[in-house]
């Protein structure tokens, strides 16, 4: 696997094709992290061929969904629109040779339809239904695939490109594409989640020679403890997440100790020194991500962490300013700046505790809650946009009234404070009774009504809508967030995993002094030794856990089951049952309902069969009567003769 160069480490080097495809990044939403190889990754199938397959699928969707339909007609089981024939036709769009890229092409079509819904608002419902159809077909293809190796290695993890503006787009695989497009139905499919589970556990790892290719971890069934005592196992997302969680708790403990042990003299003790070292490591990590991925990586948590680190750095700077004054200064500036430093440190306490949620999102309770909060924050943009316009308008009116009184805007602080109190549902009407009476009071009543009655109720309605939308689909939203988290670890552009604040060791003790002149093999061995030293205790726990997992894998393989299979209670005696031999299978077959056909259709079909039988009986009766009448008419003639 390609390692960091110094330019790359500092973020001065960009991907060769990044400048040619800025519009692609905008269309595909933001990327988690960019490609990290010196040579551009090639599509597993020629981009022109992939584009042709995508266009075939687009034509198929257009014909199968010719008009605007209810989404339930597309998504319900045994849909009359997305039938088995449609799914088979979609699977055959790439033929036997290129069928691996069909799911990728369906996601491309899904992005096309979503884009078309934005630019053609008059047909947005039709285009959104077609985008949903793409997801439904992709999910059915994934879940109906029986060859798990083909599904994970070729369908989900191989990278494909399409042609855009006569150039191939940056290659991406289905796992990445579904996360970037937030395709919940694809992410929630069983095969996709099994692939994510393998990536999360580190059972599928990047090939050392070709990071774009994922291979099986060959020692996952090895019961040797020393085999698993390997620093490279830290590349598994599960262990990186565990390490980050432990470091976040240590970080919080350092902060709690620092804020509860104030140094009156302003000296920096060992606890505070470690706190600021940790902060420096986190800042370097954020800067590294920003330089490599640009603004595409920025999100809520990046902004949240940046504010926290800024407060801590302000506290550190003020502490240094305080140390610059002698302990016995007459003006008390050392005490002043030292107190101000601790004030910045104290106000960051809520953010320290909230920051824990960033590392607890792999648990379903916290994960679902964070998804709801994330959507609520997005919905708040409408509220704050309206609020900003209204506040500016009323603020200008109040300042104008104040200025008209004595040509001096001296009550600006009071006005801003009163407007803030009204926003927090604590208006102060007394202060406006003598404020250019009656204009000021009337204007303040209007502002309070608009903010407290109109805008706040709009915000509550938006929050309620966001909560209902997310919790109706909470499981898929949580799985999508877990897949997003897994891909952030998998896309991490460094072979050697130095989690902050240990990234300072890599930057200042390894990369800068050694990498630029040392051979690749020697530098790799030194990195492994440093990682083994840093993560030693954790590696012991990981090795013990993987030895137990290896025993379970061997047990599953001995029974002919999949590696990740678990024996549940109802499966323990399943081998002792013979439903067909005891006749229970036939009894169940006769009792179960036919879900593929509606009850009305079955009744009509039965009625048609009865009518056909009745028609046959009538024809037979008519023929019999005709034959009887014929015999009766010939009998007198023969008698007369």
pLDDT band at 29 (very low <50, low <70, confident <90, very high): very low
Torsion, Cα of 159, 163, 166, 170 (10° steps)? -30
Is the model's pTM score more than 0.85?
Answer: no
Separation CA 67–CA 78 (nearest Å):
19
| Res. 31 pLDDT band, cuts 50 70 90 | very low
**What is the 8-class DSSP label of residue 327?**
T
* pLDDT at residue 103, as a whole number: 95
Question: How far apart are the C-alpha atoms of 61 and 82, rounded to whole Å?
Answer: 9
- Of the candidates 387, 239, 374, 365, the one whose C-alpha atom is nearest the C-alpha of residue 304 is 374
CA 82, CA 15: separation in Å to the nearest integer?
Answer: 40
Mean pLDDT of 121-138: 93
Instruction: Give the residue among 151, 49, 61, 39 at the shortest CA–CA distance from 112.
Output: 61
* Distance (Å) of CA 294 to CA 12, 26, 306, 383: 12, 12, 15, 28
More confident site: 379 or 30 = 379
69 sits in the region (left: phi over 0; alpha: psi -120 to 50; else beta) called beta
Question: With 50 as the cut, is the pLDDT of residue 5 above it?
Answer: no
Q: How would residue 476 be classed by pLDDT, with cut points 50, 70 and 90?
A: confident
Please provide the distance, in angstroms rounded to a whole number, between the alpha carbons at the two ends of the chain: 111
Q: Cis before residue 438, ω within 30 degrees of 0?
A: yes
Residue in the structure block whose two tokens are 């990195």? 527
Query: Does the pLDDT value for residue 21 go beyond 70?
Result: no
pLDDT, tens only, 628-641 = 877 655 555 444 43
For 297-353, the pLDDT digits (tens) are: 777 788 889 999 999 999 999 988 888 887 766 567 888 888 899 999 999 999 999
- pLDDT category at 37 given cuts 50, 70, 90 is very low
For residue 395, how many other CB atoms are within 10 A of its CB?
Answer: 15
User: Model confidence at 495, in pLDDT bands (50, 70, 90)?
Assistant: low
Token pair for 9: 């480490």
Q: Please list, in sequence order, all residues whose beta carbon lies within 8 angstroms of the beta carbon of residue 182, skipping any fewer than 6 positions away.
A: 29, 480
**CA dist list (Å): 327 to 333, 336, 342, 586:** 9, 12, 17, 92
Banded model confidence at residue 270, pLDDT cuts 50, 70, 90: very high
CA neighbor of 16 nearest in space, from 181, 156, 210, 167? 167
Q: What is the 3-state secondary structure (H, E, C) of 243-312?
A: HHHHHHHHHHHHHHHHHCCCCCCCCCCHHHHHHHHHHHHHHHHHHHHHHHHHHHHCCHHHHHHHHHHHHH
Distance CA 543, CA 196 (A): 21
Is pLDDT at 571 greater than 80 in this prediction?
no
Phi and psi, residue 167, nearest 5°: -130, 145
- Residue that wins the pLDDT comparison between 417 and 114: 114
Assign 412 to helix, strand or coil. Answer: helix
Three-state secondary-structure class, residue 206:
strand
The more confidently predicted of residues 631 and 568 is 568
* C-beta separation of 342 from 262 below 8 A: yes
C-alpha 192/C-alpha 39 separation (Å) is 28
Report helix, strand and coil shares of the chain as percent, to nearest 5.
70, 0, 30
Token pair recorded at residue 439: 């204009």
Q: List, as one string, the DSSP characters of 475-541.
A: HHHHHHHHHHHHHHHHT-S-SS---TTTHHHIIIIIIIIIITTS-HHHHHHHHHHHHHHHTHHHHHH
Most confident of 18-22, 55-59, 573-577, 606-610: 55-59
Residues paired with 288 in a beta bridge:
none
Whether the Cβ atoms of residue 135 and residue 66 lie closer than 8 Å to each other? no
Whether residue 138 is predicted with pLDDT greater than 70 in this model: the reply is yes
Give residues with Cβ within 8 angstroms of 601, minimum separation 6.
none
Give the 3-state secondary structure of residue 334: helix
Do the beta carbons of residue 455 and residue 387 sit within 8 Å?
Answer: yes
**CA dihedral sign of residues 533, 537, 540, 546:** negative
For 442-473, the DSSP string reads HHHHHHHIIIIIIIHHHHHHHHHHHHHHHHTT
Residue given tokens 């947005």 in the structure block = 124
Q: How confident is the model at residue 91 (pLDDT cuts 50, 70, 90)?
A: very high
Instruction: Give the Cβ contact number of residue 411 at 10 Å.
Output: 20
DSSP structural state of residue 602: H
């Amino acid at each position: 696997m390609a390692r960091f160069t110094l330019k790359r480490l500092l973020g001065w080097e960009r991907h060769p094709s990044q400048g040619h495809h800025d519009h692609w990044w905008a269309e595909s939403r933001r990327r988690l992290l960019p490609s990290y190889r010196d040579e551009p990754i090639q599509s597993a199938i020629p981009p022109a061929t992939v584009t042709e397959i995508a266009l075939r699928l687009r034509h198929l969707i257009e014909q199968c969904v010719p008009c605007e339909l209810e989404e339930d007609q597309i998504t319900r089981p045994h849909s009359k629109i997305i039938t088995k024939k449609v799914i088979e036709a979609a699977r055959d769009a790439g033929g036997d040779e290129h069928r691996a890229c069909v799911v990728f092409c369906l996601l491309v079509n899904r992005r096309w339809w979503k884009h078309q819904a934005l630019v053609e608002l008059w047909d947005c419902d039709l285009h959104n239904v077609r985008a949903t159809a793409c997801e439904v077909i992709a999910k059915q293809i994934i879940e109906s695939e029986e060859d798990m190796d083909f599904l994970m290695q070729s369908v989900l993890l191989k990278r494909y490109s399409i042609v855009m503006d006569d150039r191939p787009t940056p290659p991406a695989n289905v796992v990445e594409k579904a996360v970037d497009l937030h395709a919940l139905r694809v992410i929630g499919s069983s095969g996709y989640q099994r692939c994510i589970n393998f990536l999360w556990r580190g059972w599928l790892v990047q090939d050392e020679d070709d990071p774009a290719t994922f291979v099986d971890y060959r020692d996952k069934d090895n019961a040797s403890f020393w085999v698993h005592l390997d620093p490279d196992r830290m590349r598994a997302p599960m262990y990186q997440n565990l390490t980050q969680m432990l470091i976040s708790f240590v970080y919080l403990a350092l902060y709690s100790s620092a804020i509860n042990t104030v140094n009156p003299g302003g000296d920096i003790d060992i606890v505070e020194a470690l706190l600021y070292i940790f902060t420096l490591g986190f800042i370097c990590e954020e800067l590294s991500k920003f330089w490599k991925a640009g603004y595409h990586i920025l999100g809520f948590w990046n902004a949240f962490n940046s504010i926290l680190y800024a407060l801590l750095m302000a506290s550190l700077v003020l502490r240094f300013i305080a140390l610059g004054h002698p302990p016995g200064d007459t003006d008390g500036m050392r005490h002043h700046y030292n107190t101000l430093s601790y004030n910045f440190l104290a106000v960051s306490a809520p953010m320290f505790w909230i920051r824990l949620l960033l590392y607890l999102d792999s648990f379903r309770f916290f994960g679902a809650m964070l998804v709801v909060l994330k959507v609520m924050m997005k919905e708040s943009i409408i509220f704050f946009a309206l609020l900003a316009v209204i506040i500016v308008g009323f603020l200008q009116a109040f300042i104008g009234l104040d200025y008209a009184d004595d040509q001096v805007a001296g009550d600006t602080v009071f006005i801003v404070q009163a407007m803030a109190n009204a926003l927090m549902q604590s208006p102060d009407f007394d202060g406006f009774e003598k404020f250019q009476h009656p204009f000021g009071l009337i204007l303040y009543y209007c502002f309070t009504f608009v903010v407290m009655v109109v805008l706040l109720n709009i915000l509550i309605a938006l929050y309620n809508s966001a909560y209902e939308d997310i919790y109706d689909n909470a499981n898929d939203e949580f799985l999508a967030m877990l897949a997003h988290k897994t891909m952030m670890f998998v896309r991490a552009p460094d072979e050697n995993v130095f989690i902050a604040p240990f990234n300072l060791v890599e930057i200042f003790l390894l990369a800068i002094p050694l990498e630029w002149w040392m051979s690749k093999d020697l530098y790799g061995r030194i990195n492994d030794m440093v990682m083994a030293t840093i993560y030693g205790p954790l590696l012991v726990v990981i090795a013990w856990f993987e030895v137990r997992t290896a025993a379970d894998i061997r047990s599953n393989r001995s029974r002919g089951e999949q590696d990740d299979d678990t024996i549940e209670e109802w499966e323990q005696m399943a081998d002792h049952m013979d439903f067909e031999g005891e006749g229970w299978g036939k009894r169940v077959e006769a009792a179960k309902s036919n879900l593929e056909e509606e009850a009305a259709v079955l009744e009509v079909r039965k009625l048609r069969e009865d009518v056909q039988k009745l028609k046959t009986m009538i024809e037979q009766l008519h023929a019999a009567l005709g034959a009887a009448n014929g015999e009766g008419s010939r009998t007198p003639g023969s008698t007369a003769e």
